[in-house]
Amino acid sequence: MSEDREREPEIIEAHQEFVAHIERGARRMQILSILTVIVAAFLAVSYVAQLALPLTGTKSQTVNLADPTLVVTEVVVLGLTMVWLYVGLSDLGFSMRMKREIARARSKEKEIGARLG
């Protein structure tokens, strides 16, 4: 039993380091998720605009915007972009939930520390 009492500070310190590591990772994940959402949204808008160009009668001499191969390629890339946008939004939501849970755990930790101290 006394051995457990001696190890408690080490365990608490390791727990603090682990929580700090998770918080840093959550912040990085949140920043990357925001950047992913911005890039994916930009790409989605640009692909939708490219797909809409032939509907306005716009054509180019070097690129036929109504070419079926080009349209299929743009639709496939748009689909991949939408998947990327979904993943980015999912990761952003997860990182926000993780941040809230960590804050909640920190407050509980402070409550316990106040009761013990």
User: For the chain, what are the domain ranges?
Assistant: 2-116
Residues 55, 59, 60: CA angle, nearest 5 degrees: 155
pLDDT number for residue 93:
84
Mean pLDDT of 41-57: 86
Convert the pLDDT of each residue in 88-108 to its tens digit. 888 888 878 888 888 888 888
Contact in structure between 51 and 106 (CB atoms under 8 Å):
no
Tell whether the model's pLDDT for residue 68 goes beyond 90: yes
Percent of the chain with pLDDT strictly greater than 90: 3
pTM above 0.75, yes or no: no
Tell whether the model's pLDDT for residue 14 goes beyond 80: no
Mean pLDDT of 25-34: 81
Contact in structure between 41 and 85 (CB atoms under 8 Å):
yes
Dihedral, CA atoms, 73, 76, 77, 80, nearest 10 degrees? Answer: -170
Q: DSSP label at 56?
A: G
CA distance 14 to 19: 9
